[in-house]
Each structure stands twice: as C-alpha cells, then as structure tokens.
Structure 1
Amino acid sequence: MSSTKCFSYYFQSPDGDIIDCVHKRKQPALDHPLLKNHKIQKVAPKVPKGMNVKKRGTTMEDVVSGGAWQMWHQNGTRCPKGTVPIRRSTVHDVLRAKSLYEFGKKKRSMAMSLSRRRIDAPDVVSGNGHEHAIAYTGSSQEVYGAKATINVWDPSIQVVNEFSLSQIWILSGSFDGSDLNSIEAGWQVSPELYGDSRPRLFTYWTSDSYQATGCYNLLCSGFVQTNSRIAIGASISPISSLDSNQYDITILIWKDPKVGNWWMSFGDSTLVGYWPAELFTHLAQHATMVEWGGEVVNTRVTGQHTSTQMGSGHFAEDGFGKASYFRNLEIVDTDNSLSSVHEISTLAENTNCYDIKSSYSNDWGTYFYYGGPGNNPQCP
C-alpha cells in the first residue's frame, strides 16, 4: 500500500488491477450535472422486509460489512473509512475502446437490442448482435426491486470486442422508444473493457435507451459508492469449476421507500451504493419489469456464429455442476417486502446456441439453468 498525490491510498491486486481509495466526496458520481447539489445518503436505506442485515447502528458505516470476496482482498485489504475503492483505468483500457466517448459505454447499435426487443412478443429476434437467455416478469406491475443468487463462471470469449454477462435488469419506460430506464448489475467477462477474461462485478445504468446517458461501473458520473470494501469492476474469486465446487454471488437492487434512491447490496447483505433517483425519469417512481439471465455479443453478422460462451458454456439441460444457474429469484413489492417470484416467462432468441430452463424447489425457490457454447453443430 502506498500513498500518492491524487489518492489517499492504492492497492496492487494479485490480478494486476490497481484499486485506488478515493475520498467519498471526490468520487466520479458527484460530477453529474443532475447531482450538483446531491448530498450523499448517510442514513442506511430502509431495507426490504425479509432481508437480513446485522445492524450495529443507524449510519451507513455501521451497517456495511466485508462479507463478499474479491481478488484484491487476498491480502486482507480494504480502503480506509471515508474512502471508496475504485478500479483504476489505464491507458490500455481507453485505447481498446474505439473512442474516448465510447469508453465504458455499451455500443448503442448493439445495446438497443434490449430496448427494441418486445418482451410481450418473444418471437421477435434481434438482429444487431446481442443474444439472450432470460427470465422476466410481466410488464403491467409496479416493481420496487429484485434479487437473485447468480452462479459465477469464466466463459470463453472468442474475440476481444465480444462479452458474456449474467445480470439483473430493473426496467421501466418504452422498449421501442428512446426513454427506456435501466439499472443493471451482475458479473461480466469483457476483454475489451478490462483487458482480461476474468469474471468481474459490474453495474450499468441508462435513462435514454443507451443513447447518451450511463456507463459501466464508475467510468462516468452517476452511481454513488458508499462501501469501502467492494470495488465495482474488480474480479470475483473463487469461481465455479465443472463437476466441482460451485460459487455464486447474491445481488439485490431496490428502491429505498423513504429517500427514493435505488440501492444495491452484494453478497451477505453488504450495501455497496446507490443510483440517485435524480438520474431517472420512469425509474424515479418504480420499475415495470425485471429480467434475470445471460447475454452475449455475437459480432458475426454473417457466416459462422461466435463461440463466445454464455454462463458456463453448457446448455441448461446439463444441470447442476455443468450449467450455470440463477436461484432464489425475488422481487420487492409495493410495501417494500421481498417475495419469491412464482410466475416468470423465459426467452432465448436462438436456442441452438444458448437456452434456458426454469423450475421451482423448496431450497432454491424459483430458479433456472441457462447458457450454452455458442458455435456448435446445431449453431453453425
């Protein structure tokens, strides 16, 4: 650990990352023009009923804990109180993007596959590169959050500008217009964004269908970090192995009914930070849909399908220890209570490449297996 002129402290992670400890009032979020007068929420959010948090007090620092594991923790490190950990971007990270403007953003030509996909008409197939295997709720209800436990793998990525991710989407607005609001979190393998093929904790947000607003992690202003232990964009360790130990992460995103900000917890109820309500239009009130599942980018518009894997690279039918899973799907309802999701629909645009199969059990509640290898004899 060393001190620098710009940062209080920084850590060199075993995977090569540099984690800077930045004073919480100097973090990128507060540069957003809509947050010019924003005061960082100091009082812990009102957690959903059914969420177990070991409170030692009422302030944010009292509530958070260091239960989640990331690779930079291997030496027992954490940032000092009053600072937040931020993965340092390098010159090489920026150079892998086509432009400085695009760095940290979803490419609109591909990201629009989500906003243009009509969820009430799952037979419509996107033609712009993104492929999904997802479960989703109906579009007519008011939703105030969602939770799931997500199996973590390290899928193979064929080319540097493709990625594979597994995440929760919190959505509101028009899916075929320019006003879609989305909050997203999960794990992601993206050589273009991070320079390696490790699964990493990530977040994303947009308030205009990925046109100009939002970005991954803390690469632009918006998401307010409050935790000194969890670094968004840092690699997750350990990860699952075929027919061996399985590892997963739990993510909860919900709207604080008292203040209105959208909070995220990671692992054992560890509060990471929040998306301020000021960032959004539709999500300033509530969400209308939740999605859980996997997404890959297939850059091959013509010719052979990519061999970039989704999840573990195995189809849903291969089951536990081979296929990747989401378990214990829950939503937050109007009275700020967590409840198990009993009615979900599923969608996979190309089941010969990636698929999904849902079920229910007493231990796992509503769950599903999903994923696939991409290119194979049935997916040429």
Structure 2
Amino acid sequence: MALFLVLVVSLCISCCRVGGYVSDIIVHQVDNDFDCVDMYKQPTLQHPLLKNHKIQLNPTFTRNTVQRRSSSFINKVIGGCPIGKVPIYKKRVRHQNIINASSKLQTEDFHQDYEHYNSDHFATLDTTQSTTFHGASAIIGLYNLSLQGNQFSLSSIRIESGPPTEINIIQIGVGVHPKLYGDSQLRITALWTVDSYYKTRCYNYECQGFVQVNQNKSYTLGNVISPSNSIGSTEKYALGVKIKQDPSTGHWWLFLDRDEIQVGYWPKELFNHLSIGASLIRFGGETYAPPNIDNPSMGSGRLPQEGFKNSSFMGRLEIIDSKYSEISVNPEHMKKYSDANSNCYDLLYHGYEGVVYRQAFLYGGPGGLSGQCDI
C-alpha cells in the first residue's frame, strides 16, 4: 500500500503551521486473516436489499483514470486474490458464523456495548452549509495506540443524512479496536448504520453491505496499516481516504492511497437518506469506552496544543459538492465540535496550512479516567 510520507521542513508550534513535501513509499502489509471468495458470491450480496443487485466493477466517473492505475498496481503487488475473487477479512475473535448471518445487520452481543452512544466522545471538524454533499477526502495521520478490552479509537471521515432517529452514516478511516480485531493494531476501519447507531453498527464485513471489488489484500477493510508515526518525529505517514457517490448509480465508492485506488462501495439500496447524498460531513476522531472504564487515547494520544511533531493531523480536507466537484473545505463553512473535557481531547483548526497539507487541523488527546472526560 502506498502511503503518504510527509517530511516537515518548517514548524511553528504556537500556530501549528507545517510545511514540507510528500513522497510515496510502498507498503505491502498483508494480514493473513483473509479468504479469497468469488466476487459474485461474497457474503454482502446475501443482504435482503441486495437480492437483485448487479455488481458495479468500476465507478462511472473514473473509467479512464483510477481504473487503469488500480489494475496495473494490483497485478504487481504480492497478496492478491485470483482473477474473479476478492479478499474478505475473516472474523476469528467472536463468531465464526457472523458473516453468514444474513438476517441480521449487527449481532446483539456486540451492539449492546454501544447502546445509546453514552460513552462516545468526539473531536471533529464539521460542515455547516445547508446543502447536499456527494463525498469527501482527506489524508489521516497514522499512530499506533495501546488500547484494551472494549475500548475503541477511530480517526475517520464521516458522512451523514437523515432525521435524528434514523440518520444514515458511513465512516471510513483508521482505528484501533481490540474487541473487534483481537489485537491493538491500527487497521483500515469502516462502519455504517441506517438508524443513528441505535440498533445497527456495522463494521467492515461484519454484516452484509460493503461490496469489495479490489482483489488486492492490501486494499481490504480490516487490514493492518504500517508503518506508523513516532511521537516527536518530523517524518509523518498518512493514509489518503476518499468516499464519493457515483452520480449514475448512487453507490458510495471508497478509494485509498495517494493514487486513489478503488476498493469497493456501499450500494445505494442500503440507505433511505444517503441514497440521494449527504447533509453533513465530519472529519476527526472518535473514542468509546464502556461505563467505569477509562477513556482511551485519540489520534496520537497527545493534545493538538503539543504541535505537529506530537499531535495527530488530518489534511487536504476536501468535500464533493452538490455538483460533484471536488473542492477544498472553506473555513467559513466549517466548525469545531467537541463533547469532551479539553484536557482529554481537543481539535485546533487554522485553515490553510501550506501546499502540502492545504486545509488541515491537529486533534486528539490522552483520554482520561472514567467520568473525567464528560462535560
């Protein structure tokens, strides 16, 4: 997987401005916990709403660009599935048969940990315009965190649409989730819901929904990301993430890396509100801990006031507007959202940060003892 390598040549800690340049590195981080399955028999197609779904092999808006780059890259990278098959992450930790539960969107024993969102915390940069969005993109700084048990930490792009009790949400980014993965490694993590996460919280391939079309195991939900950043280093690694709605089919496509390699998509049929676009885009971090358990770290585990060398970042923030144009976010149309004590988590946004990061912000924090992060 080709990640961004950012080399910082100037830094102003007081205002968190950064400069530098970006070059590619090639990373072949392939987890062995994948099955190669027939593309047209992948478990997601068992979803009742996808009974008559016809797989879209390529988005209509990139037939002459991303498709060509993706295909040539796949043929050269070790770890791909045979022609006609795609990699699906095997869940070994909780239920071997979870992927075959076609009648459920989410297993009850796992969802109850997140009942009513009581213990989630956010530090995000949100859009404020009353308009329709068709996607977003960013580069996300990569940091390993030490979490355990039911703790969860995610850095992501989040798109939303719908009334409070039935918000449709898709999130994609990098996360650490010991209960989901069985370890504390940083992994490509996606989740979605059609009911504000009240009853459904669907991770990766845990329930039918995401259609995988890329045959390369490096570009698979649940895969480990490496290398990651070190606190205090001026060399920073980041993963490029984009989610974009196809104007012809309405499906939400996922792209990863600097070359925007197409991975797959969430079909339009899954959603009753996102099917026509998103009303809100959120960039940033989210954490979860059960009651009476300490709040985990977010981002790099350091507050944004510690500057770029120590804090995590998201840069090159773009939205895809109502006309499907990809444009940098406008600071006048963005606002910070944080629901936690600023000693636990925070976010600092100063707008344009130079040609490397463009619109960017620093965010994260160490978390804290149970109850101390609530405000």
TM-score (norm 2): 0.80
Show the counterpart of 1:53. Answer: 65
Q: Is the 8 A contact 1:104 1:219 kept in 2?
A: no
Q: Is the 8 A contact 1:105 1:215 kept in 2?
A: no
Given candidates 247, 272, 285, the residue that maps to 2:237 is 247
Given candidates 353, 361, 367, the residue that maps to 1:368 is 361
Q: Whole-Å Cα distance in 2 between the matches of residues 263 and 111 of structure 1?
A: 29
Q: Report how far residue 271 of structure 1 moved.
A: 0.3
Q: Report how far residue 209 of structure 1 moved.
A: 1.7
1:215/1:250 CA distance change after superposition, 3 Å: same
Given candidates 76, 79, 87, the residue that maps to 1:77 is 79
1:160-216 residue CA offsets vs partner (Å, 9 max, x unmatched):
1111110111100123x2x11001100110010001000000111111222444510
Q: Is 2:222 the counterpart of 1:233?
A: yes
Q: Is the 8 A contact 2:111 2:200 kept in 1?
A: no
Q: Report how far residue 321 of structure 1 moved.
A: 2.1
Given candidates 111, 123, 141, the residue that maps to 1:107 is 111
Q: Report how far residue 108 of structure 1 moved.
A: 5.8
Q: Is 2:89 the counterpart of 1:87?
A: yes
Show the counterpart of 1:329. Answer: 317
Q: Whole-Å Cα distance in 2 between the matches of residues 358 and 105 of structure 1?
A: 38
* Residue range with higher mean Cα deviation, 355-364 or 182-191: 355-364
Q: Is the 8 A contact 1:79 1:228 kept in 2?
A: yes
Q: Is the 8 A contact 1:171 1:289 kept in 2?
A: yes
1:375/1:270 CA distance change after superposition, 3 Å: same
1:21/1:31 CA distance change after superposition, 3 Å: same
1:287-326 alignment, distance < 5 Å = 287-301=278-292, 306=294, 308-326=296-314
The letter for the 2-side match of 1:368 is F
1:166/1:65 CA distance change after superposition, 3 Å: farther
1:64/1:149 CA distance change after superposition, 3 Å: farther
1:233/1:66 CA distance change after superposition, 3 Å: farther
Alignment length, in residue pairs? 328
> What is the SS of the residue equivalent to 2:202?
coil
1:21-65 residue CA offsets vs partner (Å, 9 max, x unmatched):
1110111110000000001013433149xxx93553xxxxx7545
> What is the SS of the residue equivalent to 1:46?
helix
Q: Is the 8 A contact 2:212 2:265 kept in 1?
A: yes
1:303-322 residue CA offsets vs partner (Å, 9 max, x unmatched):
xx725211110000112121
Show the counterpart of 2:277. Answer: 286
Q: Whole-Å Cα distance in 1 between the matches of residues 109 and 244 of structure 2?
A: 23
Larger fraction in strand: 2
1:120-135 alignment, distance < 5 Å = 128-135=118-125
Q: Is 2:140 the counterpart of 1:138?
A: no
The letter for the 2-side match of 1:241 is S
The letter for the 1-side match of 2:279 is T
1:349/1:213 CA distance change after superposition, 3 Å: closer
Show the counterpart of 2:39. Answer: 24
Show the counterpart of 1:172. Answer: 161
> What is the SS of the residue equivalent to 2:36?
strand
Gaps in structure 1 of 5+ consecutive residues: 1-12, 57-61, 68-72, 114-127
Q: Whole-Å Cα distance in 2 between the matches of residues 375 and 210 of structure 1?
A: 24
Q: Whole-Å Cα distance in 2 between the matches of residues 15 and 47 of structure 1?
A: 26
Show the counterpart of 1:275. Answer: 266
1:77-127 residue CA offsets vs partner (Å, 9 max, x unmatched):
21122111111111x3339x9xx97549973673643xxxxxxxxxxxxxx
TM-score (norm 1): 0.79
Q: Report how far residue 235 of structure 1 moved.
A: 0.7
1:104/1:265 CA distance change after superposition, 3 Å: farther
Identity %: 38
Q: Report how far residue 297 of structure 1 moved.
A: 1.0
Q: Whole-Å Cα distance in 2 between the matches of residues 278 and 54 of structure 1?
A: 24
Show the counterpart of 1:160. Answer: 149
Q: Is 2:153 the counterpart of 1:192?
A: no
Q: Whole-Å Cα distance in 1 between the matches of residues 319 and 113 of structure 2?
A: 30
Show the counterpart of 2:23. Answer: none
Q: Is the 8 A contact 1:64 1:271 kept in 2?
A: no
Q: Report how far residue 365 of structure 1 moved.
A: 1.7
